[in-house]
Amino acid sequence: MTTSNLLARRYSKINCGKRAAIYIRVSTEEQTKGHSLEAQESTLKEFAENKGYEVYDVYSDGGYSGKNFNRPEIQRLFNDLINDRIDIVLVWKVDRLSRNNTDVVSLIDNELTPSNKKLIITSIDMDSSSPTGHMFISLLSTFARYERATIIDRVNAGMRKRAEKGYWNGGTILGYDSVDKMLAINERESEIVREIFKLRSEGKGYKFIANILNSRGTKTKKGKAYSIPGIKLILNNHVYIGKMVWSKHQNWNIKRRAGKTEPLIVDGVHEPIIELELWEKVQQINEYQKNTFTTNRNFNGNFFLTGLLKCPKCGAGTVMSKSKKKNSDEYHLYYMCQAYHSKGRAVCKANLIKKENVEQKVLSEISFLIDNNDIFSELLKELNSDTEKVNETHIADKKIFRRQLNKALDKRSKLDEDYFAGELKSSTYNRLMNDLQKEIDTLESNIRKSQSKISSNERSVNKDEVIYALKNLKKLFEIVSDDEKKVLVRSLIKEIQMEENRKDIKKITFWFSSDNVLPSNKVRRALS
């Protein structure tokens, strides 16, 4: 027996029973350069086999960036970690897991180490459970983050140089087409841009302009209806007077408005659509409105159903609205259609819903749910029934895979017997065994996946847990802040639909009941 076989067998004995998760990733850009998920998977499986690890499952995020953990398969892996289905996480290089050092170290220190689990970087065979391994993985992830920052800086520097020369850096903009990385006027769209500026120069508001365009069925560059923010963006875009703007915001995805900087504005190489005189007149109007406009944001009322409550006409979300009472400093408060608010009456109407009335009715419906045993029992029955139906499919699949696996294992035993009895040549035995082992590995993986799905659904909905959450919602509502009220309501309610009379609730959809809704009509006792 060779030294490598002896080492493999020794590792196999030491690591017997260790369940390994294989995580692989390539970004969209890396895919175009020929980087392969298959190559990573093959390398990691070979590593696991040599170490004697049992591969629990392969988690593959193709086309996702490594800047954070906002990826579907890495989240599934974390879920399996939390549910103690995995002992080891195998990745080829640390940047496959994340290019953010903080994310990697946090995963090791807060999730893996406390549970006696570990991360292994197979390209250097480095293990996070040892002090040396932890140090090297941390260093490697720091370098990965530095490399990503360097790439971003290099790209930004190139784009800035291009912008300084007046060239377009890509993207779509109404009124122009990008041809060979240059802006060329789109005649049809440029007329829309000119109309928007003309209407604004006449003192028309953003909403009025959006409504005019939408009433004619005019669409944006992306085929959508015009909105207040969209009109505002067009009217403040220097590109339309032949300028090029760069670095108006830095790191928008992280800093948002706090990243606003003094932009670079230079003469562009493209042809302008708007004359300077018209532009300056529009900017004067914009500035005047900014200084005289008062917004609803100075009102501190709590609209905790915003976004949850839907317009009864178009189904859009709702936003706050107020109107001052006659001879009083107090206000009438309403929920208003968001589509109307941002896009005008060509899209929908205001469809005002009285704030106090609808909020009281929503809280009453929650109380009714708690106090009515018939509805509660029916709800729980439906929830558990859905879980049972899903599990029936997974259990049936698991049985089929198990039967197929037993047959494959019997074949393997028969092959071993024939080989040791001298009835099979070594080359024939190896060829047949390799094919059979692949089949066995696939079936075992399918069984684990089915069991994982069964385990995630097998706990039935507990009535006491749901009652406790709802009853505490009522108590907490009396003492918590406005922001906390929003969080509490959103943790229970997914959507609220109103009748067309805007007075009665049509139905409430709860998060813990994805397909079932609570009818507002208390005469009905069954879930719709």
Q: Are 221 and 171 in contact (CB under 8 A)?
A: no
What's the chain's length in residues? 528
Pairwise CA distance, residues 129 & 116, whole Å: 8
Q: In angstroms, what CA-CA distances link 105 with 98, 113, 118, 138?
A: 10, 10, 12, 6
Residue ranges of the domains in the chain? 3-152, 176-292, 305-353, 354-528
Band (pLDDT 50/70/90 cuts) for residue 525 is: very low
3-class SS at 152? helix
Pairwise CA distance, residues 178 & 169, whole Å: 10
Q: How far is CA 514 from the centre of its chain?
A: 18
Tens-digit pLDDT profile for residues 404-428: 988 888 888 888 788 778 887 878 8
pLDDT of residue 10: 45
pLDDT of residue 174 exceeding 90: yes
3-class SS at 223? coil
Q: 322 vs 193, which has greater pLDDT?
A: 193
Percent with pLDDT over 70 in the chain: 72
Q: Across residues 92-100, what is the average pLDDT?
A: 85
The number of beta carbons lying within 10 Å of the beta carbon of residue 10 is: 11
Q: Considering only the C-alpha atoms of the chain, give the largest distance between any 2 of them, rounded to a whole number of Å.
A: 105
Q: Which of 115-119, 260-264, 517-521 has the highest mean pLDDT?
A: 115-119
pLDDT of residue 386 exceeding 50: yes
Band (pLDDT 50/70/90 cuts) for residue 513 is: low
Read off the tokens for 263. Answer: 């932009």
Which residue, among 241, 330, 334, 221, has the nearest Cα to 282 in the 3D structure? Answer: 241
Read off the tokens for 268. Answer: 């562009």
3-class SS at 90? strand
Band (pLDDT 50/70/90 cuts) for residue 8 is: very low
Q: Are 354 and 334 in contact (CB under 8 A)?
A: yes
The second-level CATH assignment, the architecture, of 3-152 is: 3-Layer(aba) Sandwich (3.40)
The number of beta carbons lying within 10 Å of the beta carbon of residue 506 is: 17
3-state secondary structure 451-482: HHHHHHHCCCCCHHHHHHHHHHHHHHHCCCCH
The number of beta carbons lying within 10 Å of the beta carbon of residue 148 is: 17
Residue 57 β-bridge partners: 21
| Residue 219 per-residue DSSP state | -
Beta-carbon contacts of residue 508 (< 8 Å; ≥ 6 apart)? 362, 365, 493, 495, 496, 497, 517, 518, 520
Q: 473 vs 40, which has greater pLDDT?
A: 40
Q: How far is CA 424 from the centre of its chain?
A: 55
Q: 293 vs 168, which has greater pLDDT?
A: 168
Q: What mean pLDDT value characterizes the chain?
A: 78
Q: Are 121 and 91 in contact (CB under 8 A)?
A: yes
Of the listed ranges 218-227, 416-425, 506-515, the least confidently predicted one is 506-515
Q: 47 vs 151, which has greater pLDDT?
A: 47
pLDDT of residue 190: 93
Phi and psi at residue 250, to the nearest 5°: -115, 135
Q: What is the CA radius of gyration of the chain?
A: 31
Tell me yes or no: is domain 176-292 CATH 3.90.1750.20.
Answer: yes
Q: Across residues 28-41, what is the average pLDDT?
A: 70
Q: In angstroms, what CA-CA distances link 303 with 155, 342, 484?
A: 43, 18, 12
Pairwise CA distance, residues 232 & 67, whole Å: 31
Percent with pLDDT over 90 in the chain: 22
